[in-house]
Structure 1
């Protein structure tokens, strides 16, 4: 392939040089031949005019004297003019007065139109040149002189000229061809080597190749510069590859067991769903939790617990198929993705149960950890998926519920998710209807949870939606937000929250108080075609300043149409809106896309913050996220900070901002108004404000 590419380039260079030279020489030859033709033509016309003027006087006198014999003798003596073959003299009545011709030459009859002209005229007719001029004596028209010239000699001259030109043309082309070959050896060969090297780098990503050559001048400088550039790229690529492997190991794999984590599991799940659409096969998720693992961890220490988890992960991998994907979600919770179990539900259920029993049996065997004999059993929940039932979060929730049913039934057993699916659907429908009524009857409220920097100063607040129904009962956000996200209700909620936040911002601005407000944007809302236009309309209608708005996006936004997502974010960024990636670390984000997105902040999910002082895996993930954000020139904010130890850990590792119950709980508008009115924004952390319903896990 490289040789073909190289030869094609050399041949192309050769053809371009030869053909361009041939074209130039051809045009030059055509121009020279054209010039010579017109030159010969002009000379013949001049000769005819001069000769006609020379004999016009004698011929005119003969016409006046009416002596045709004398005129013929005179004309015969002048017929010696080169190429002249016939002379005709006509009187003023158009009758032939006298004529002489070269013998044995067939001539055309003189043109009546040409010889009747009152001015000198000429024409080229086949192989003859004909010239006519009036004869005047004392300005009186007495007749017409008509000359005929043979063009044979001129044609032969032009043919010889053309043959000589062709000879020169082909001789020049031979010289050009030889010169082109010489140029190829001096220029094309080094360029071919450069192209071969570039193609090798492009196709094989092999940056260790170099171009060899001792050429001087510009070509040599190009080769040296190219080699130097490739060497630097190779060095940077090796370094980047090493860093990427380290980051991906932390981001996509569990640090302790080496198993894929939630992000990688989600990625594999997407691939298996796509495969199931083609094969029409069902798959399953096994969600397993170790029974009484906390007792072992607390009594024997984390080292023993970690070794036990490693052994459990090894046993899981030993009994599952090569196509299956085991993953650790955290703590003592594992998930196994089982693809292509069968085309019908009965076969898929039997195969899933068979694998689950193998896993349960393998994990239930005794362990020898640090010279201690340990026993641990798993409780396993199973949920089937196919091309119609493939929402990852829903499947995990259903498998988790099945696992807890297995624990309720005595632990160390396997349970399918079956019986309460319809109950959950009915409950979801009830929540959706009540939520629609709540929106229409203004039962929803916006609460604000302040965000602080490292010095304890309030630098922003996150807007959180709260629902108090007709009976003044607070509805847990976790019970209605997921349902809203399944329908267009989330778009209605999003517009309502953004409008309230903008109006609150304008209210504070009139009091000369400015605070950055963060608004959660769901993937479904963000993917609406008119989302940007709706945001612009709300900002313009309320008079809010977009530079004080931060849109918090979850990693679910990045899973579909990444190019459209980037374009939409850039349009919003031109308005001044900034972006924060919410719950970072809980989903699956491509690091390549992360570099392309116009993000300002990464928000560490509270599930990692909660155990950073006790779980080395969470601590490693949090420190990796903070370090990565610094390299990407992004800020980091940690949510769910509830303990001083967590705050100290985050500060030591360079976290920029914090949010959580350690500082402030979410508060309604009147309380946040009081806080902003009474608090010096440059003052350090003050007394905590306790307000509203306390759902620690969901804010």
Structure 2
């Protein structure tokens, strides 16, 4: 049997015999025990210490304790009671982490060190595993774009943990959050805190998970939207113990949702409400009107010749026009009214809470007067030019009006009636407004009409009538104006006022204009064969005026027919000329330079700038019939017409009066220096075969006029 003396030598045996009896107690201890002399020589190791180092006790005897145990502070220099971290050097070179407890005891040969070694390999591995887990958790948490937190279940205690993202999302430090139990609450938006706090407390009380969205306020004052997801962690007794959650920044998502919701009810280009929102607001207005006995008005507005703007100047310019128009429309209505964009160049105006009963003018209802007043304000707003890419541009709009309960009892019918009235305005007098009247053109009829018109364009179901233009000096026929008629298969003739506005909207006007020009040239040649040279006036639509290579195309057709440029006079309306004055001036200048005569039609109905007109290359100024009618009996009209005649003469233009119907009007015009005139007094528009007789009439048309006078 091996004894202590065998393991540690005589000195060790004596020491142990003196200190402890029985010595077997030292072998039984679970600790690794090493006893060293004051100089560090090992005098005793128990079996556990030897096994830890993979030596036998004899192999370790008389070795320095420093060879066996490595510590930051040498064991021989440590004070009794010190606990040192170190390693035990094994025979195979492996170093085992140990916790070193240093003690001392006095013996016969002096002081001895009693060193206890505790293998902490498992502890270190546990700590490493925990550190790795914590590192992974930290990396995961810090990689999530969200605040991660752990709270005690007591809402009045501070958080146990919060991630670094709290600084990025809210502008506060981790320390501020952890030291202030109410930090989170102070950063929740005041309008949301009551709801959010109640939901948080309910989750803590019931142990159910938490999921809600709310707003928080950053330290700099800006507001963010967050989504909070949290779960309740229970203790070993199953009781709510901790709250572990994450707070995500969802501000961008909320903005996107708000944008989607906004665009669902608003027009992206103009920012106006769209048709869907208009219809919802219309239903609310109708419900309110029914309860309180009020009226509701719907105005349906369509820009005239908008397609021409897009085609000739580009869609981006058309968009600018729509945006500027939207701003003007807002200024024409009350704060309680609604302006919406139907789509394209169509807009809707909702006039709510209109008073009913008699209006300010006898025979006019108050709601009709109110709606008409808004329509007039819109027309007035459009009289000012739009500035599009540095160029002045004039626009007009046709407006249809429908009223509840006068015209319809529901929103759908109101909109349909307003649409019908708008087309009636466009058909009869573009740029005006029409109040819906029962018996007007039905939408189905309008669809049928447009279909028949398309067929007419394809089949060229047209005929030209010609109205004489008379020289007032002697009554002779100076020229004729070509006026198109639509000849329907049933033999009926549709006047231009019925179909030209619709053709312009449908983009058919260029094909019609091209046919008219060709037919006018053909007729001019036919009259020439009869020995007659009769200039023909041809009306250019806005779309034709702005078409590319206009002068080149017209001149080419004239040359092909062997006609000079003076054979055809091109007429454009004043409103067309002033739509884009600079562009009009360039186009007319090119035409005029080639010798093609130019006439301004319907003068006085537009909004001409005299400065613009002065520079227009115009030969003839045609005074609109609205000024000519009763000019001999209306002092105000007489003054205006005299001014127009003088204006034309001062600008080097020839004045021509339209719509002359009475001898009195003729006498007034001739005596005030008007050079030319046309109207029923001289002759209605007639087919081409009727013109030679009028031209050849002896003395022209003067004898008939002289007799009438």
TM over 0.5: no
**Which has a greater percent of helix?**
1
Greater relative contact order structure (CA < 8 Å, 6+ sep): 1
**Which has a greater percent of strand?**
2
**Which TM-score band applies after superposition, normalised by the shorter structure?**
0.3 to 0.5
TM-score when normalising by structure 2? 0.43
